[in-house]
Structure 1
Amino acid sequence: MPIEQQSVHLVAATVGFLSLGLLWLTVLWGTTLRVGWGLTRVRHQTLYGVHQTMALVGLTLGLVHALAQLAVPGGPVHLLDEWVPFTNGEDPLGVGLGVISLETLLALTVSVLLQRMLGYHRWRMLHISAYLAFTLLCGHVLISGSDAQSAGVRLLVAAGWLSTLVLRVATTYRAAALPKLVAERLAARLRGRQVLVNVDPGRCVRFGFCEHEAPEIFQLRGDGRLTYRPAVPTGHVEQVIQAARVCPARAIVLSRPATTVVMSGDPAEV
C-alpha cells in the first residue's frame, strides 16, 4: 500500500474504532436509562445530556470515517457507495452494512426533534432500531475492517455486541414490570381519593407526552405553554399516573390533599 494510502487508512481506522467505542457506550447508557437507573441520584438532564453527547460525537466520528474512505487515493469506496447500500464493487456486503447502520443512527438522531409529534411510546419503539443499527455496525467492522482480522480485535468487537444484547435482555423484564408494578400500587393507594397535580415549570420541557397520556388533564397550548387541571377526577387517576411515569423530565408531582390541619397560635387567644 502506498504511503499516501497508508496515512489516510490510519486516520480512517482510528476514527472508525473511536466511533464504534462511543456508539457502544451510547447503546449501553441508553439501555440503563430505560429502567431509570441513576435517576434518583443524578439530575435527569445530566444523564440524558451525557447520552446525547456520546451519540453525537460517535456519529460525527462515523461520518469522518466515511469521508476519509473517499480521500484514499485510488480507493475502492466511491461517493455512491456511501449513500446507496450494497453498490460497492469490491465489498458490497461489508460496506452496505456500514451504510445502513450509519443512516439508521442518523435517522434516530433526527427523531429526537420529532418526539412531540411522534409521542413517547412510538418514539421509544422507534428507538429499538438502535440495537439493529449497532449490530449492523459490528458486522461492518468484522467484514470490512482490515485492522479487525486478528482474533483479539474480532473477539473484542463480538464481546461488545454481546454485552449490549445481554444487557437489553436482562433489563427488558425489569423495564416492563417495574413501572407497571409501581403504577398499580400507586393507583391502589390513590383510588377513590382526590389527587392533586403539580408540574415543575423549571423541569418541564414541554414534549407533550403528558397530554398524549391524559388529554383531559394536560393540554399543550399553541404558544408552547402547558396548562393542566390541578385536581384530578377519580376516573382519570391512572391516566395521570401514567403521564407522570412517561414524563422524560420527571416534572409531574402527584400528591393528596391534607386530611388534618393543625393551627398555630396560642389557644388562649382563640
Structure 2
Amino acid sequence: MQGVERFNLEGKRILVTGAGRGIGRALVKALYNLKADVYALSLTKENLDSLRVECPGIHTVCVDLRDWEKTKEALSQITESMDGLVNNAGILIPAPIGLFAITPEDCDTHFDLNVKAVINVSQQIAQKMIKSGRGGSIVNLSSAASKVHTPIAVSYAICKGALDVLTKNMACELGANKIRVNSVNPFFVDETHSLEKLVTALPIEMMEKITENVCQRCPMGRSAIEVRDVLNAILFLLSDSSRYINGQNLMVDGGFTIA
C-alpha cells in the first residue's frame, strides 16, 4: 500500500480484529504485503471471504466479539501463539450532543465492543504469548476523542478513555513477560468517514460549524487524516523498531489534542 513503511514483520503471526472493512481490512492487506502470517477476525463472513481472495493464505475467524463465550471458543481453536495482536474492532454511534443525550443502550453497545471485547481477546491471546515465552506486541485502537471534549460522541469518548487506561494497566502487568501494550489514537480518518458519520446527525448549520472548527483547531489544518497514517503507527508498534515502547497512547492527530 502506498505510503506504508517497510517494517520488518515477515513471518510474524498477527491477529487483527475488525478485519472485514475500514482500518482493519487495510491493515490486513499491509501485513500480508509485508509477509506476515495474518489472522483476520470479523463478524461478517462475506467480508472475510472477499479478503481471503485478495490475500490468499490468511487465516480467518468469524465471530461476534460481543459474545464473550463464543469469542473464547473461537480463539481457543487457534493453537499457535501470536507475535502481535491488534484490537481494532470498535463501534461509534452518532448521537445528539451532550451528557443528557446518552442512553443506556449507547453505553452498553460502546463498552461491549470497544472495551469488554478487547479485554476478552487480550486475555486469550496474551495467555498464549506468555506460555510461548517469546513475548509480543499488543496494539489497541483508541481515539483522539479520549483526550478532548467530544460533545457529539460522549459515550464513545468515555469508552476510549477507558481503553487508554486499560492499555496502561496491561502494559504494566504484561511487561515482565516481554509483551508490550500500546494504543494508537487517531484523529478522524478520511476513508472511514468518521467525522461525517457524527456531524450528519446534526442540523446542517451546526454540522458546517463543527467541521470548520475542527479544521481550524488542528495545527496541520486538516479535518481528517489518511488511513496510511494510522497503519504506519500500528506497524511501527508491532515491529521490533519499537521494542522499548510500552504503555503509550500514540496520538495520530496532527496536533489536534494539544491545540
Q: TM-score range by the shorter chain?
A: under 0.3
Higher share in strand: 2
Higher relative contact order (CA 8 A, sep 6+): 2
Higher share in helix: 1
Q: TM-score, normalised by structure 1?
A: 0.26
Q: TM-score, normalised by structure 2?
A: 0.27
Point out the structure with max Rg over C-alpha: 1
